Structure 1
Amino acid sequence: MSDPCRLTLDEDVLAAARAHAQADYPRESCGLVVLVDGVQRYRPCRNLADGQSHFVLAPEDYAQAEGEGEVLAVVHSHPNAAPEPSEADRVMMERWGLPWLILNVPVGHWCLWHPEGYRPPLVGRTFSHGVLDCFSLLRDYYRERLGLELPDVERPDDWWAKGGNLYLEGYARAGFVDVTGQALREHDVLLMQLRAPVPNHAGVYLGDDVLLHHVMGRLSTRETYSGFWQRITQRVVRHASLC
């Protein structure tokens, strides 16, 4: 028996999405399936991401699609890769709360995926800047372990090299106070300067000289907080509720 909550896509929509994916190849395409006057329509959108390995759907395009009708699904392509969601795709699918149509190009295989409550593990998650990175690990840790919801912020690629100062300008607004120089406590946040002009990396102190963090190009991990990580730590902050 089919699930009535599962979306079925019209052939015209699939054909239009395939054509868009082929046209944008080898860059990832992205678009939306919109229900307009009872008919499914595919609306190609602009991909604002740097590089070719991921997509950032233009918010103006999403707003325009919402003005036309009901957004039913998010669409994007996987150039030269299977139409299976990456860990970042699964996280974003949950945030959007919509099915995702993923198409392989140039072969043309596709699969429609639905949100199922996925939550990435704190240790062993893959890295995807802006979705699964040191900042999102910090937010997830505080939500899961302490029940605290920290504000999210937009963080473009290489923000630290473009005049941004996300951590030093934002920790107070997020409810943290500077405790640099005091004895470390469990749940303290360590702000580190990793080959950048400003602190651009953060980790959580777990106690017993253990650091939880997520470095670009690596899985999130626990490791000993000593040596290199101590040397590049510029600031220690603690949530006001824990002081």
Structure 2
Amino acid sequence: MRLPVAAKRHAEREYPRESCGLLVDGKYWPCRNAAQTPDEHFVIDPADYKAAMRAGEVQAVIHSHPDYPAAPSVADRIGCEESGLPWAIIPVEQGKAGKHVWIKPVGWQAPLIGREFVHGVHDCLSIILDFYQREMGIDLGTYDREDGWWDQGKDYYRELLPKAGFRAVTAPRHGDVVLMQIRSPVPNHAGIYLETGVLATEPEHYPAPQSILHHLYGRDSKRDPYGGYWLEKTVSVWRHETQDD
């Protein structure tokens, strides 16, 4: 697929912010980057996306990597899969666009253990949603959230869990959500309690009985023994309605 020259010129103008746009009927459609940290990632302004859809067929997503190679990030690969469209990545070094690369949706999924952290894409909520989808066959839906919502006093998890079909229980069993509060005015971290410590969809990992699968801010997802610090930080345990006796 050919990349219009206009896309590279847009990437250079937006530097050091990430540029973003769409390929519509073979022509480049520049969009506004609505991300809170546009120098680190991009979010296509919804109004711009809707306008592009009205104008013609959206054929691809295009964005830049300021001062970073054109290699796709985890967030890029996930976004490409979710969109079902090819993505072009344009590297921009010191304001000068370089050779772009294309990626296509191929059914890629990030592992439950060892995925890198990208808030809103791969975080402690994502690990719960993906675990329930893959390990338990339960689709909990998708949820938008802003980075730092806990510092704004939003009680996100305790509002979300009951709406998603969870109820508070006194002791954890396999698959329950463990809600924790870490240096925050509200509960701001969650994990999945693993009774046997085994993931059916990732059997290559060693068993880790009575552990939690979680994804801490800025770290790779992992399993940790459920006790000590994590038990101390636990404020409640939640069970999905489908798992009730």
**TM-score, normalising length: structure 2:** 0.90
1:118 aligns with 2:108: yes
Equivalent position to 1:59, from 31, 46, 49: 46
1:183 Cα deviation from its structure 2 partner = 2.6
1:1-243 alignment runs, 5 A limit = 8-10=1-3, 13=4, 15-35=5-25, 40-51=26-37, 52-106=39-93, 107-179=97-169, 182-207=170-195, 208-243=209-244
Partner of 1:3: none
Query: In the comparison of the two structures, how many residue pairs are matched?
Result: 227
**1:191 alignment partner, SS class:** strand
CA distance in 2, matches of 1:9, 1:200: 44
**2:157 alignment partner, SS class:** helix
1:209 Cα deviation from its structure 2 partner = 2.3
1:166 Cα deviation from its structure 2 partner = 1.6
Paired residues of 2:70 and 2:91 also in contact (CA < 8 A): yes
1:163 Cα deviation from its structure 2 partner = 3.8
CA distance in 1, matches of 2:123, 2:44: 19
1:162 Cα deviation from its structure 2 partner = 2.4
**2:224 alignment partner, SS class:** strand
CA distance in 1, matches of 2:104, 2:45: 22
Amino acid at match of 1:56: V
CA distance in 1, matches of 2:242, 2:223: 24
Superposition CA RMSD, Å: 1.1
CA distance in 1, matches of 2:65, 2:218: 19
CA distance in 1, matches of 2:132, 2:115: 16
Amino acid at match of 1:143: Q
- Structure 1 residues 153-186: Cα deviation after superposition (integer angstroms, max 9, x where no partner): 110111122242221001111011111xx23201
Amino acid at match of 2:59: L
Q: Which stretch shows the higher mean deviation, 77-86 or 115-124?
A: 77-86
Partner of 1:5: none
- Structure 1 residues 61-110: Cα deviation after superposition (integer angstroms, max 9, x where no partner): 10010010010001111111111111111111111111101000034120
For structure 2, list consecutive stretches of 5 or more residues without a partner in the other structure.
196-208
CA distance in 1, matches of 2:192, 2:162: 16
CA distance in 1, matches of 2:228, 2:11: 47
Paired residues of 2:153 and 2:186 also in contact (CA < 8 A): no
CA distance in 2, matches of 1:96, 1:70: 14
Identity %: 47
Amino acid at match of 1:122: L
**TM-score, normalising length: structure 1:** 0.90
For structure 1, list consecutive stretches of 5 or more residues without a partner in the other structure.
1-7
